[in-house]
Amino acid sequence: MAVKERSSQTMNEWCLCCDSETEHAVSIELRTEGTNPETAHYSREPYRLTRCLGCGERRSQRMNNA
């Protein structure tokens, strides 16, 4: 899977593990979802990545649900 990660920024968000609002590193990443190398460039999708700076929990969410 090809991945391109952007620089991250921090913002306060709710953390399920900490059960409180904590500072998170937030970034956007393009992930290739297809397995065929000839058409892989057509299957890139943006994902929002978050990492809690308190406990280290990581989450990803697909941004385009087409």
- pLDDT tens digits, one per residue of 9-57: 999 999 999 999 999 999 999 988 878 878 777 788 899 999 999 999 9
> What is the residue range of 11's domain?
3-62
- Which residue is listed with tokens 């090809």? 2
Structural tokens at position 54 = 């308190």
Note the helical H segments in the chain: none
* More confident position, 64 or 60: 60
* More confident position, 46 or 6: 46
pLDDT of residue 1: 46
Domain count, the chain: 1
Listed in sequence order, the residues at least 6 apart from 4 whose beta carbon sits closer than 8 Å to its beta carbon are: 29, 30
Structure confidence at residue 7 as a pLDDT band (50, 70, 90)? low
Helix (H) or strand (E) holding 5: strand 3-5
Q: What is the largest CA-CA distance in the chain?
A: 45
